[in-house]
A and B are shown apart, each in its own frame.
Chain A
Amino acid sequence: MLYIKCPHCGMRSQNEFAYGGDATVKRPELNKEISDSEWNNFVYLRKSPRGKHLELWQHISGCRQWIKVERDTLTHEIFKTFKAEE
């Protein structure tokens, strides 16, 4: 079981969290004309890195906040956690 340090609540079990995907993906700017392939990249294309990965998690059974977690996808080691806006 993973233990994730929620920046709001402290160290909690992974059971209390829901995975929210890659935190580095940015939504295209509002009102900006973008091509179909850019939309396709944003909606569907994801990297599958081996090593450090910045992820979104939601503390769904705790404070309900979204947080960012820097995790190693190979060892599951968690290096750092941030508030979503950081």
Chain B
Amino acid sequence: MTLISALNNVHIPGFYGNYKNKDENNLIKISEIKNLLIVQIVQYKNSSIKIEELKIDELNLKNEPLSVVNSSDTRILWNGPKNWLLISTKKNLIKKIKEVFKDNEFAVTDLSHSKAIIEIEGFNSKEILKKGCPFNFKTLDKNNSINSTFNGIALTIDCIDDNPEKIRLFVLRSFGESMYHSITDSALEFGYIAV
């Protein structure tokens, strides 16, 4: 079966916007991230299991707002009370997740094919997001994540790095194209490279 990414015919590599007479290394880079494992993990209200005792890919879940626990391959984003989003490059981790998070205590949902992922990298990445998202980005540090809206579309923002800024946006696949156009329109002012 051929997998078609969410932004397959939308994301076209090239230079766009106000990029002329600017150093290519300082331009914002926008890319589509593909082939990640995305799993939503929700602990049932009546579950009494202590999440500190559960480990997945050597990481513990953390029930703390904004927090992201991460290793080189896997990131676990706090999505709400007893609600996490696991992102990993290890596609076969899903088997282990289903073993660790028993189905009478947790709801585990594979969302790998239902999200579009856009990555923005460069010094003005947060400025782009400020144009459509009401969140106070001064409070978003490295390894923080939030759920918010961008031009009315619900999204998850994961701050991977802050120098230079590297931010991943997760949006429902069906809103991927709309979100991509919103983000790239906002980036035109600075000039960007679609990679």
Contact = CB atoms under 8 A, between A and B. Distances in A.
Interface of A: 1, 8-13, 15-16, 60-65
Contact of B135 (A1, A12, A63, A65): A12
Given A1-B134, A13-B135, A8 B148 contact: no
Contact of A63 (B81, B136, B149): B81
Given A10-B65, A63-B147, A16 B134 contact: yes
B83 interface: yes
A46 B65 CA distance: 35
B145 to A, nearest CB: 11
A61 B83 contact: no
B146 interface: yes
Nearest to B139: A10
B79 interface: yes
A1 B66 CA distance: 23
A8 B80 contact: yes
A12 B139 CA distance: 11
Most buried by B among A1, A9, A10: A9
A66 to B, nearest CB: 11
B97 interface: no
A62 B134 contact: no
A15 B81 contact: no
B154 interface: yes
Given A13-B134, A13-B135, A8 B81 contact: yes
A12 B134 contact: yes
A12 B81 contact: no
A62 B81 contact: no
Contacts of B136: 11
Contacts of A1: 134
Given A61-B154, A62-B146, A63-B81, A8 B65 contact: yes
Contacts of B148: 12, 16, 61-62
Given A9-B65, A9-B146, A10-B65, A15 B83 contact: no
B81 A65 contact: yes
A32 to B, nearest CB: 25
Interface in B135-156: 135-136, 139, 146-149, 154
B58 to A, nearest CB: 26
A11 to B, nearest CB: 7
Given A9-B146, A10-B65, A61-B147, 6 more contacts: A1-B134, A8-B80, A12-B148, A15-B134, A61-B149, A63-B83
